[in-house]
């Protein structure tokens, strides 16, 4: 898949796109809904007899986003040039399955075009920017310490928003990342007490484990941010010296309703002048009394400041940090190709049942001269590859009578193996967990 080379700022005033939820939908008078024009769908054997359009892609926008937002419409408009790329790819290689572009703005262009159905509440929660293929392609591996203010002023809704913010940050971490969560008031409280002073891999099991512990947080006392910052910097520094972790980007995520100081002495001690650790600050609540201090901390440490007033604001505001961490990769024009672990595509099946898939993806950058120096990530392109297609590339005559081939990812997850079967999601998860545990034993 080849990314488009430029963006356009001009959009025809009457421009409409094919919204994957609204296509072929009519109002009470029989007229097509806005963004819901006629979109021909025909069952296709290659796609498990799902009704698709192999001539066009369509666009999915998360329910919590306005589908006529100018930024969305602009991105949808210039990304239409991918239609021809998708079709040409499929003509050259009919074994291809889904091809897609996940935008940094949140929309998802998918080929072939298919209709999306909301859940029973009328919601589509899918956001391409939370998917593993997007996260791995868009950012470099990172070590992250999340600091959560649990002082008395965080009681009630503020603490609820803070917990949701932490959860959303966890959604943006992938298997290449390492993290820990520290709650603070006048004392430090590791969310998982057994993991003091270290970081853990951001795999699915670890993230779910930490989410469960978030519910145990409650607000009381006085917030001593200086103690928390010292602990975060020491943890990152010591973990980095062990040779473990991402050995790449480092960040501190600060979630609080205010800071009474800029703590420049701490930053001077640990982070200046190199500023290797980026500071991202999230101001919780509507009050802006301490916003200037948090803005200063973020700007002085190559990070980003944002304010989150309601639960509805959480996801979009959390996503902003990904744009910052992607800038070095964009400026250096690093088109790294990533492969995900094997997973089950529930929409497809063959004679043997459910199909095991892997995704190959790469970032898309703006190549306009005026944006290149700013490091603007446009999104990520990807395609799904059936694992059986990878096995076809293996020269069996080199394996011998009793030989077999297998592949694992850089994180120790199984990509292909003769005994890997799509029996159930939990079975696959357990299989990979066992392999990961053994990997550490072998390394030890």
Q: What is the pLDDT of residue 175?
A: 87
CATH number for the 139-332 domain, one of 3.40.50.410, 3.30.390.30, 3.40.50.920, 3.40.50.970? 3.40.50.410
Residue with structure tokens 């459910």? 354
Length of the chain as a residue count: 444
Residue 8: per-residue pLDDT: 43
Burial (Cβ within 10 Å: 0-12, 13-18, ≥19) of residue 429: middle
pLDDT of the residue at 323: 85
Alpha helices in 332-424, H assignment, sequence order: 369-372, 387-391
User: What is the reported pLDDT for 55?
Assistant: 96
Residue 179 contacts residue 199 (beta carbons within 8 Å)? yes
Alpha helices by DSSP H, 242-377: 264-270, 291-299, 314-331, 369-372
Intervals of the chain under pLDDT 70: 1-14, 334, 349-353, 369-375, 421-444
| Per-residue pLDDT at 205 | 92
Give the pair of three-digit tokens for residue 336.
């790294």
Cβ–Cβ under 8 Å, residues 40 and 112: no
Domains of the chain, residue spans: 42-135+337-384, 139-332
- Confidence (pLDDT) at 443: 40
CB under 8 Å to 283, separation ≥6 — which residues?
Answer: 256, 257, 258, 290, 291, 294, 305, 306, 307, 308
Taking only the tens place, the pLDDT of each residue in 329-350 is 777 776 788 888 888 877 776 6
DSSP H/E element including 3? none
User: Is the distance from CB of 361 to CB of 431 less than 8 angstroms?
Assistant: no
Which tokens is 58 given? 């369509």
CA dihedral sign of residues 30, 33, 34, 39: negative
DSSP 406-420: -EE-TTS-EEE-TT-
| Bridge partners of residue 255, in order along the sequence | 148, 282
What pLDDT score does 250 carry? 95
DSSP code, position 342: P
| CATH number for the domain formed by residue range(s) 42-135+337-384 | 3.30.450
pTM: 0.84
The pLDDT assigned to 1 comes to 41
- Start-to-end CA distance of the chain, whole Å, equals 40
């Amino acid at each position: 898949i080849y990314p488009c080379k430029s963006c356009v700022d001009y959009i025809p005033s009457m421009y409409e796109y094919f919204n994957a939820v609204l296509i072929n939908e009519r109002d009470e008078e029989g007229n097509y809904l806005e963004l819901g024009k006629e979109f021909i769908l025909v069952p296709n054997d290659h796609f498990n007899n799902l009704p698709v359009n192999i001539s066009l892609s369509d666009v999915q926008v998360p329910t919590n986003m306005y589908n006529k937002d100018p930024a969305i419409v602009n991105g949808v408009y210039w990304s239409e040039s991918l239609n021809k790329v998708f079709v040409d790819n499929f003509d050259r290689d009919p074994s291809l399955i889904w091809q897609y572009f996940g935008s940094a703005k949140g929309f998802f262009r998918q080929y072939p075009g298919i209709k999306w159905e909301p859940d029973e509440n009328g919601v589509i929660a899918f956001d391409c920017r939370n998917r593993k293929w997007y996260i791995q392609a868009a950012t470099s591996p990172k070590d992250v310490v999340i600091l959560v203010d649990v002082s008395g002023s965080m009681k009630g809704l503020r603490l609820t928003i803070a917990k949701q913010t932490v959860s959303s940050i966890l959604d943006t971490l992938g298997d290449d990342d390492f993290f820990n969560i520290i709650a603070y008031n006048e004392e430090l409280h590791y969310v998982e007490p057994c993991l003091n002073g270290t970081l853990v891999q951001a795999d699915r099991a670890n993230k779910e484990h930490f989410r469960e512990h978030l519910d145990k947080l409650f607000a009381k006392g006085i917030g001593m941010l200086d103690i928390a910052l010292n602990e975060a910097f020491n943890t990152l520094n010591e973990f980095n010296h062990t040779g473990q972790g991402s050995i790449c980007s480092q960040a501190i995520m600060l979630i609080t309703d205010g800071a009474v100081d800029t703590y420049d002495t701490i930053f001077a001690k640990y982070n200046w002048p190199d500023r290797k650790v980026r500071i991202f600050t999230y101001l919780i609540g509507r009050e802006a009394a301490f916003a200037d201090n948090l803005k200063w901390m973020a700007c002085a440490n190559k990070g980003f400041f944002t304010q989150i007033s309601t639960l509805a604001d959480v996801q979009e505001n959390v996503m902003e940090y990904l744009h910052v961490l992607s800038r070095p990769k964009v400026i250096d024009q690093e088109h790294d190709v990533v492969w995900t672990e094997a997973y089950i595509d529930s929409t497809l099946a063959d004679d043997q049942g459910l199909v095991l898939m892997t995704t190959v993806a790469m970032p898309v950058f703006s190549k306009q001269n005026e944006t290149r120096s700013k490091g603007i990530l446009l999104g990520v392109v990807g395609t799904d590859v059936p694992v059986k297609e990878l096995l076809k590339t293996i020269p069996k005559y080199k394996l011998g009578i009793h030989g077999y081939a297998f592949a694992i990812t850089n994180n120790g997850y199984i990509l292909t193996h003769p005994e890997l079967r799509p029996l159930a999601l939990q079975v696959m998860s357990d299989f990979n967990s066992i392999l990961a545990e053994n990997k550490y034993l072998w390394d030890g």
